[in-house]
Amino acid sequence: MPTERELAATIDHAILKPELTRADVDAELDIAAEWGVFSVCVRPSDIAYAVSRLAGTGVAVGTVIGFPHGTTSTAAKVAETRQALADGAAEVDMVVNIGALRSGFDDVVADDIRAVVEAASGHIVKVILETALLDDEQIERGSRLTEQGGADFVKTSTGFAGGGATIPHVSLMRATVGEGVQVKASGGVRSYADALAMLEAGATRLGTSGSAVILGEARRVDAGEESTGAVDSGSY
């Protein structure tokens, strides 16, 4: 069972809701710094600000590309990626071209991923499949195309498509890709129990806005207290 610190090192704290004000963003960045998560995943327009505010905390800043629908052109995704890196992002989470994947246009999907990977110039790239919109065959194929495109992670969900990570989908993705590709479970990871289950299924990174709930419970477990199984129903 991971310690609080070990669990924090798996978390990308999501700060992506479109309605968030600057004060809301500040509060979330402070949570990320307080709990020592691996990174925050912020809206593209918040990258430079987040980098500045988190300077010296050890929390990395990531962002999203083609978010949340994945339907922007490859050229637009490439431009977004380059701008994100210029603004200080350390990692990017791109949304796959979902319609192309569902249509069986594998070359289109792989080329889209590969172009973002090349634009990222060695920075970590995670590919969001949006598993709630896919069947198992499409999830397997999307995972293979993620690997073929040279990305570092295959990721379940944006959290904005009416469904999130599930244990069967995380397990399927882990079984499909080789050891060189990691799995990120995102969307609906709201409790300590959720986090442990996703890690057990094969995820190595977790996307959540429920970091304080998850890590607060991990701290109680570290202290020898019984897990409450509490869930923050408002978490992404």
Query: Does the annotation count 126 as an active-site position?
Result: no
Query: What does the pLDDT read at residue 228?
Result: 53
pLDDT of 39-61, one tens digit each? 999 999 999 999 999 999 999 99
Set 12, 46, 93, 152: catalytic member: 93
C-alpha to C-alpha distance for 92 and 115, rounded to whole angstroms: 13
DSSP reduced 3-state for 5: helix
C-alpha to C-alpha distance for 115 and 119, rounded to whole angstroms: 6
C-alpha to C-alpha distance for 197 and 186, rounded to whole angstroms: 12
pLDDT cut 90: percent of the chain above it: 93
For the chain, domain boundaries:
4-222
- First and final C-alpha spacing in the chain: 23
C-alpha to C-alpha distance for 167 and 42, rounded to whole angstroms: 25
Q: Tell me the two tokens of residue 71.
A: 């339907």
Set 77, 126, 152, 155: catalytic member: 155
Query: What does the pLDDT read at residue 225?
Result: 79
CA dihedral 6, 8, 11, 13 (to 10 degrees): 180
Mean pLDDT of 23-36: 98
C-alpha to C-alpha distance for 220 and 100, rounded to whole angstroms: 45
Q: Which CATH architecture has domain 4-222?
A: Alpha-Beta Barrel (3.20)
pLDDT of 127-182, one tens digit each? 999 999 999 999 999 999 999 999 999 999 999 998 899 999 999 999 999 999 99
> Which stretches of the chain are assigned E, i.e. beta strand?
11-15, 39-42, 60-65, 91-95, 124-128, 153-155, 182-186, 205-208
Query: Does the annotation count 77 as an active-site position?
Result: no
Q: Indicate the residue type of 103.
A: S
Residue 227: pLDDT band by 50, 70, 90 thresholds?
Answer: low
C-alpha to C-alpha distance for 106 and 141, rounded to whole angstroms: 8
C-alpha to C-alpha distance for 189 and 208, rounded to whole angstroms: 6
b/e string for 92-104 if b means 16 or more Cβ within 10 A?
bbbbbbbebbbee
Query: What does the pLDDT read at residue 226?
Result: 64
Query: What does the pLDDT read at residue 28?
Result: 98
What does pTM read for this prediction? 0.94
Mean pLDDT of 97-113: 98
